[in-house]
Structure 1
Amino acid sequence: MFSPRYWTFIFIVLAALGYSMFRISQAPDVIVSPADEYSYRHMTLENGLQVLLVQTPEADKASAALSVNVGSMDDPQGREGLAHFLEHMLFLGTEPYPEPDEYQQFIKQNGGSHNAFTSYAQTTYFFDIDNEQLNGALERFAPFFISPTFNEAYVDREKNAVHAEYSANLKEDGRRIFSAQKMAMNPEFTFSNFSTGNLDTLSDRDDSKIRDELIDFYQTHYSSERMTLVIAGDYELDQLGNKARNLFSDIPKRDVHFERPDVPVFVPEQMPMDMSIRPVKEIRELRFTFPLPEIISQYQYKPIQLLSNLIGHEGEGSILALLKKKGWAESLSAGRSLSTRHASTLVVNIGLTKSGLLHTEDITAILMEYIDLIRRNGIPDYLKQEQKMLNEMTFRYQEHGSISGYTTRLSSNMLIFPVEDTIYGDYRSEPASDELIDAYVSGLTADNMLRTLIAPGVETDTTDPWYGTEIRIRPSDYQAPAEPEWTGALHLPKANPFVPENLTPAPGKARDIPTLEAESVGYQLWYYPEHDFTAPRAHVLISLKVPDVQTDPAQRVLARLYARSINEALNTYSYPASLAGLNYRLVATSEGLEIAVSGYFDKLPVLLEQVFSEMKNMDVSSDEFGRYQASLKRSLENNLKARPYQRTLAELKNWLIDPSFSDIELLPVVGEVSLEQLNTFAEQLGTDISVTTYVHGTLSQKNAVAIGELTQQYYPATTPSPAESVLVKAPVGQYQQSVEQDHPDSVITLYLQGQDTSDAARAESGLLAQMISSPYYQYMRTDQQLGYIVFATAYPQKAVPGLLFIVQSPTATPQEMLDHSQIFFRDYEAELETITDEEFLLFQEGLVTRLTEKPKNMGEKATNFWADLTTKRMTFDTREAIAEEVKKVTKAQILNLYRTAVLEQQWSWLLFEKGEPVQELTPLNSLDRDALERFPAPTTQDSTQPADSETSQPDAQS
């Protein structure tokens, strides 16, 4: 029997579904959430192209995404990476727009972004742009699929870019492990092929030119009826439909006869298998892969999602709870990994402790015991209904994110779901029959398992030919224990206590910006009643500033260990809340601790109080402390093995911000702190803190005040807010610092620091970055072929404007990268001088669109307000104010800024390189950093007075 709480929730869900059916009557092809303000229309062009039109009222950005039913698993034998290479080539010129940077330049110029990806079964291209410029973008986008030129010069050059992408990932464990695991697969299952491509697989051969094979592959697979297109923008659906017909009807419908082979993922006779992989970083994982029947045709029942939710559960009676109790694991995740028309896989990934490495057989047995529990007892109806209800609730109250992310998801969904379920298919969850569940549970056995141990020092006997990863594959030697000691410790989860009951929004009177509801020494409570997004949700952000954490590396380490300890203690309790759409985050910051709780507001105070209670009553054993200490040490060490450009960027930020401590500086401190010090940190946490609480959502002022009072009850503020960290003001000149790392690529990270923190200065540098970004990328990456990772961007730090140029290369030295940058800088002046008024206006409007783009969901809006709050911009208008300044900038100002900052080098230049020092730059360590000037910390602007009542309004100018 369900409790009254469940009957209440079922009624809400049914009401939502009924309204969904009403929405479908207005948009007869597509089931739409009642909370969705967009309008939809599906259409099929005469060439067979499936199109979904999306009207997005009052949106600043428009977007399009086109997916093709072809991917890396369709690469011809011996031409690994051809599908990926083709994806690259379509950006480099079409018959109506032959210039290789035309599309990218237009998108960037108009405040947009673009990208593409090649997966194993599909290739997707997408962009977003200023809504007013959608037609121009589509005019440049559609020819990708009609008349690409495959310019021979760029075919030859782009091979190097693909190879650079491959080279950049040679030390990336994600790619290395992904590639290594394919070696255990059935070689006839084409997903097992190398997918990126490099100079070996994409070079011309005596009997074949790669350009000819590219064209043949394009003409074989890029056919209109194998494509799906989504166009979204603030236009009438008829207008969008006309754009689709006029621009995409010429995509050829080819005579394609193509079928992927139906072969098993693994060779059945070789199962079960054990595999060992030696990573670059300090990673310890035990991974289980089970090949299962295809899941696409069963999407409405989601049996693998249900099984994954149970296996990956982290509450009481779960696999992870038991493994953590024994000190063998730190994390566990489960989910579908691979899904084709013929097969799927379920993967369970367990993050191990050092002790866990010694108990892989026991861990395997625990996993098998839990699966046997499901097999013996079946899945209770209340769990099936709960999955359905939570999915329906998510659908009912869904909020949109980035428009390009949305169009990309829908175009992908159109390849696999019926038209009516293009949106709803991700959420549709009919209770699966026991027979259907059994069809998948029957594949979760020790005899149908690839078990992979990923850890340093594992025994290996061969290498992956593509990434050089050391591996070993052998028949599995797993034997189930006769009488496991954990019998009875595992059980299925109980009904979720965090399923919300009150889903009625009741925000206070609408306001333009957050208002200060309460203030005392060191304490502020801010509140914003949400009216634009009407889901029954809230976001609560709390900053606990601890002066010693900012200035003392040991206290900063202790803050991280403290946050880890609390999170571990709360994990079993909080996991059901996350399943019910209520999440919390406790993290250590450079200033203390930050708590965030977000989701359905009904049970939010309950979860928040439990977080506070655990914080006040921390109880950590010496064994647990040792594990958390080792885990933090491993995390810092792994940071040092990040991509070279990420390492140089981290070192740059560490040099600029004062006070700050690098990972290298924190590493020895981790080993020096003790459990006694951690206990002292916890006990003293409330004795010297300042507190800022921000409540944002569709809940009342009364409830917001109650949350503030709850915070004060546990952590009353005791001291004024400490001084903010500040930015070091580098002297004018050119300075360099080397970063050592074991990686084949070289890199330069060149930072130009501005001298003025005004909104006007930030507007000028932001506009210059907007203008220079695409030409720099075109010259350094496409023309000079210096690397795959190339970008130029604005890089403001603590209100100080800056420009950032990054190049990571598998072949060029830092000297060569800087020399070519200097050549570009000299040549680009002429381009700036000749830019037309119309082109300049487009750049301005594009940046203004990016800065003033309206938040797409409640969380994004709350984050924007919080960012201003934490930087003491109480007018809450940073982006809008800079946008107003952008509108005032002239071409003459930009040219003057370029000459001053770049050509005449009157801004400070800091170059962080990995590879070898460049000539004629002064070592950065020759400067006395402590003696350098600092930019002033931001001060409170137009502080708002406390609100006295629900009806109080903020001043219009504040």
Structure 2
Amino acid sequence: MENRGSKRGERSDSEKEEDRGLKRGERSDSEKEEDRGLERGERSDSEEEEDRRLKRGERSDSEEEEDRRLKRGRLSDSEEGEDGNGDEDSRRSFFLENGLEVLLLSNVGFSTQSSAALTVRAGSFDDPPVIHGLAHLIEHILFRGSTKFKELDDYLNKHDGDANAHTEFDFTTFSFEVDSNFLEVALKRFANVFINPLMETDILEREILVMDAEFLLSKHRDSDRIDQLTASSSYDKHPLNRFPGGNKESLGNVDLPELKDAAITFFKTHYVAPSMKLVVSGHRGLNVLESWVKKFFSPLPGGIPLPRPEFSRPWDVCRSYKVQSVENAQRLVIRWIVPPPISYLKKPESYLLQLFSQEDEGSLSFFFKKRQWITSFFVCVGAHSAFTEEKSSLSLLSLTSAGRLITITLELTNKGLEQGYLLVDYIYKYVSLLTRNSPPQHFMEQYKNLLEMKFESLYIDDHLISSQSLFVDRVSANMLLCGNEHAVSFFFSDPTCDQKEIDDFLKHLTPENMTIYWVVKKLPKEQDQEIEPWFGTSYVEVEVDRSLVDAWMGFKTQVLEETFSFPEENLLMPSKGYTLERFDEKSEDSAEDGDDYIAEDGDIAEDGDDNNGDDNSVKKIGNIFYVNAASTSSAYFCFSMPSVDSLMNKVFLELLEHSLSPLLFEGSEAYIDTRISLIDGNKLV
């Protein structure tokens, strides 16, 4: 007989009482015994057999087929229409009755770890006006554990795992990874953090001190000081005009009992299931993962998420500041802010970022370096680039509901600093090139093909995913932007923009929408200095002459001399359809634990002679080493330097890197990891 009550989601009296017990953190006797078994790592017979099979590396036929599909980058049927991939067996998405949106990923990637992340649509924009940093404080509090379990970190550390969390302006993300054998109990503890958090005053006091220590470290970074100056110099009542990180001073505006009440109110208001996105990536079947999620996360409270208001622009006039560096550096930082897009899947900024970042002849970077005005050129637009750690940390302001921040940073030489606003002239001349011309078709095609290749190789190349926890962290945050259908492929999907969308983006790169920061080693004494209230940054606001603003506006419409040009075709780019293959063969002398063979000094087969059989990972023929890596092919060139002066060799290395920067950039854009280094002070590799 059909169970209509179950299909309608109705609950029996005993089930309702069980739910009430769950919400109070109570457990039945059988569940308590189950908890103790989980804590001891005990498993049912079928689970133990599954574990043994996993540890031996054995897979069922269906799992092996699933792995083969994953190695080809296949996703679900719902993504297939958009991304050209499909595999309904490796992922599953659904909503719990309380409104929590869930994405499950089974057996993805090459790691033996499992991971989970939960993103909540609550961040620094939601801080009360008198308690800056409250959202950040709650992030800290939640990882201190729940009323039922001790600190989550302690449990994860015992089982080869760790946890991480970060607070942005619009959201907060919590993530962890752990040995796959302990995912179930880790998920249980993780869920309980959001159901029964500890909100005691002694924990508040301790975490405020931790936050204050973080703040003191950030005070010594020019990038963080510029971010806070950007926020503090926004219009007085604009949501960006706040201190998002918080410290002992900002959280001390109210006494501890009042702060505790504010934290509880914030948590109950914003930490509701419909405002949350959960991602679980585990080495278990989807049915098992789903059962765990429903069991542990169903008690999360439901509610109505608060809408995010539309924001106006935080400034409407060209501004220029001279800022005292705490790093003894000199930089030019230029920022514009562009309104949020209607659809995040249309990404004109992606193409523009690629163009601005070019280093070959005809680019901004090449032009400035050739004249010895800069030592480096860095451009940042919008969100994270993918599932890897960036070389330079992105600004908290990079992508918010207030808009997308475009930042150009030039590390200046003394000669470059002397050029002053002439540097800005040339940046607007380059913008003029982009405004008057469409990007060449070969450039757009190459970029599209590269994204496709990276996506196809996502689960077989460890260069594309830094860690499991970072992977699920960004997937869960992506769900806020584009839903679960595109959360994994978002970074690699073809930016489906046309020239009109590129033009609409470029029209915001105006002087009135621009802020200029001259980061200098020493501020001029003759000018009155101001102090940013939170970081204590010394700065001087400098009026920009109207004639300069008019000239920059005119560059966008004038036909200028051919100072800049679009990049030529990158011959290092892989052809369409190219994908990486995982190298699975092992040498006969591989370590017993199955790691790839690594050659030691004197342990390399030379001139084709076998030293360890035919499957060595490293061979030398003549002066060339041949290396088999797990998922990539590598080429190494080694030169003996004539000079024994290591300092002179380091200077030569810097000059060589500078000279080869266009080629190195082309290689990096073509997914070729290129590095130059010194070994033993006189060997160039």
Match of 1:92 among 144, 166, 177: 144
- The aligned residue for residue 465 of structure 1 is 533
Question: Quick one: which amino acid aligns to residue 332 of structure 2?
Answer: L
TM-superposition CA deviations, 1:892-935 (whole Å, max 9, x none): xxxxxxxxxxxxxxxxxxxxxxxxxxxxxxxxxxxxxxxxxxxx
> Does the aligned pair in 1 maintain the 2:336–2:407 contact within 8 Å?
yes
Equivalent residue, structure 2, for 1:487: 561
- Is the contact between residue 381 and residue 406 of structure 2 (CA under 8 Å) also seen in structure 1? yes
Partner of 1:267: 315
**Larger helix percent:** 1
Output the amino acid matched with 1:263: F
3-state SS, counterpart of residue 362 of structure 2: coil
The correspondence for 2:438, drawn from 378, 386, 389, is 378
For residues 797-824 of structure 1, the C-alpha deviation after alignment (integer angstroms, 9 at most, x for no partner) is: xxxxxxxxxxxxxxxxxxxxxxxxxxxx
Q: 8 Å contact 2:76–2:91 — kept in the other structure? A: no
Name the CA shift for 1:158/1:24 in 2 (closer, same or farther; >3 Å): closer
Distance 1:111 1:510, change over 3 A: closer
Q: Structure 2 matches for 1:187-202, cutoff 5 A?
A: 187-202=236-251
Counterpart of 1:540? 635
Q: 2: CA distance between counterparts of 1:396 and 1:22?
A: 8
Does 2:365 match 1:305? Answer: no
* Counterpart for residue 657 of structure 2: 567
Q: CA deviation at 1:150?
A: 0.7
Contact kept in structure 1, 2:94 and 2:101, CA below 8 Å:
yes
SS of 1:276's equivalent?
strand
Equivalent residue in structure 1 for 2:102, among 46, 51, 63:
51
CA distance in 1, matches of 2:215, 2:291: 40
List per-residue Cα deviations over 1:478-498 (Å, max 9, x = no partner): 353999999322111122221
2:512 to 417, 430, 447: 447
C-alpha separation in 2, matches of 1:498 and 1:522: 25
> Is 1:497–2:571 an aligned residue pair?
yes
1:347 partner letter: T
- Alignment TM-score, normalising by the size of structure 2: 0.75
| Alpha carbons 1:464, 1:470 under 8 Å: kept | yes
Indicate the larger mover: 52-61 or 120-129: 52-61
Q: Is the CA contact (8 Å cut-off) linking 1:24 and 1:31 kept in structure 2? A: no
SS at match of 1:468: coil
Check conservation: 1:305, 1:335, Cα contact below 8 A: no
Contact 1:293 1:343 in 2 (8 A): yes
Matched, 1:184 2:184: no
Task: State the partner residue of 2:123.
Answer: 71
Distance 1:59 1:576 in 2: 30
Q: Secondary structure at the match of 2:673?
A: strand
In 2, Cα distance between equivalents of 1:505 and 1:182: 43
The CA deviation at 1:244 is 0.5
Q: Distance in 2 between matches of 1:281 and 1:345?
A: 23
**1:436 Cα deviation (Å)?**
1.0
What's the Cα RMSD here? 3.3
SS state at 2:430 partner: helix
Please give the alpha-carbon distance, in whole angstroms, between the structure 2 residues aligned to 1:303 and 1:356: 30
> What secondary structure sits across from 1:414 in the alignment?
helix
The answer (yes or no) to whether the contact 2:75–2:91 under 8 Å persists in 1 is no
Equivalent AA in structure 1 for residue 678 of structure 2? A
Cα pair 2:116 2:177 within 8 Å, conserved: yes
Cα deviation, 1:531-577, whole Å, max 9, x if unaligned, reads x64xxx3233456577986xxxxx22222211111111111233222
5+ residue gaps, structure 2, are 1-68, 383-397, 591-596, 610-619
In the alignment, the residues of structure 2 paired with residue 366 and residue 440 of structure 1 have an alpha-carbon distance, to the nearest angstrom, of 19
Matched AA of 1:349: T
Moved over 4 A (4+): 19-23, 26-34, 481-486, 504-510, 519-528, 541-549
- Distance of aligned partners of 1:583 and 1:148 in 2 relative to their CA distance in 1, 3 Å threshold: same
Deviation at 1:524, TM superposition (A): 8.1
Q: Distance in 2 between matches of 1:263 and 1:383?
A: 34
Matching residue of 1:281? 327
- SS of 2:676's equivalent? strand
Is residue 241 of structure 1 aligned with residue 290 of structure 2?
yes
Which of 349, 358, 363 is the equivalent residue of 2:409? 349
* CA-CA distance at 1:73 after TM superposition: 2.1
Aligned equivalent of 2:475: 410
Q: Structure 2 residue aligned with 1:556, among 642, 646, 660? A: 646
> 2:8 is matched with which residue?
none
Mapped contact 1:29–1:420 kept (Cα < 8 A): no
Native 8 Å contact 2:240 2:314 kept in 1? no
Cα deviation, 1:786-844, whole Å, max 9, x if unaligned, reads: xxxxxxxxxxxxxxxxxxxxxxxxxxxxxxxxxxxxxxxxxxxxxxxxxxxxxxxxxxx
Tell me, yes or no, if structure 1 residue 421 matches structure 2 residue 486.
yes
Cα deviation per residue 1:664-710 (whole Å; 9 max; x = unaligned)?
xxxxxxxxxxxxxxxxxxxxxxxxxxxxxxxxxxxxxxxxxxxxxxx
Go from structure 1 to structure 2 and tell me whether the alpha carbon gap of 1:591 and 1:113 turns closer, same or farther (over 3 Å shift).
Answer: farther
Which residue in 2 is equivalent to 1:40? 91
Structure 1 residue 445, shift from structure 2 partner:
2.3
Q: 1:254: how far off?
A: 2.2
Contact 1:33 1:395 in 2 (8 A): no
Out of 25, 29, 39, the position equivalent to 2:77 is 25
> Is 2:202 the partner of 1:142?
no
- Listed one character per residue, the Cα deviations across residues 379-413 of structure 1 (whole Å, up to 9, x for unaligned) are 23333223222212221222344111111111111
Mapped partners of 2:410, 2:91: distance in 1: 41
CA contact (8 A) 1:588 1:594 kept: yes
Amino acid in structure 1 at the alignment position of 2:507: S
| Percent identity (aligned) | 25
Find the counterpart in structure 2 of residue 817 from structure 1.
none
8 Å CA contact retained: 2:336, 2:514: yes
Conserved 8 A contact 1:547-1:591: no
Identify the residue that residue 152 of structure 2 maps to in structure 1. 103
1:74–1:83 contact (8 Å) kept in structure 2: yes
Distance apart, 1:590 and its partner CA: 5.0
Residues 204 and 466 from structure 1, CA distance in 2 versus in 1: closer, same or farther, beyond 3 angstroms?
A: closer
Give yes or no for contact 2:101–2:278 (8 Å, CA) kept in 1: yes
Alpha-carbon distance, 1:452 to partner: 1.2
Q: Corresponding residue for 2:278?
A: 229
Cα pair distance change 1:500/1:170, threshold 3 Å: closer
Q: Aligned-pair distance for 1:216?
A: 0.5
Residues 384 and 432 in structure 1, CA contact (< 8 A), matched pair in contact too: no
Q: Which residue of 2 aligns with 1:203?
A: 252
Query: Alpha carbons of 1:570 and 1:42: their partners in 2 closer, same or farther (altered >3 Å)?
Result: same
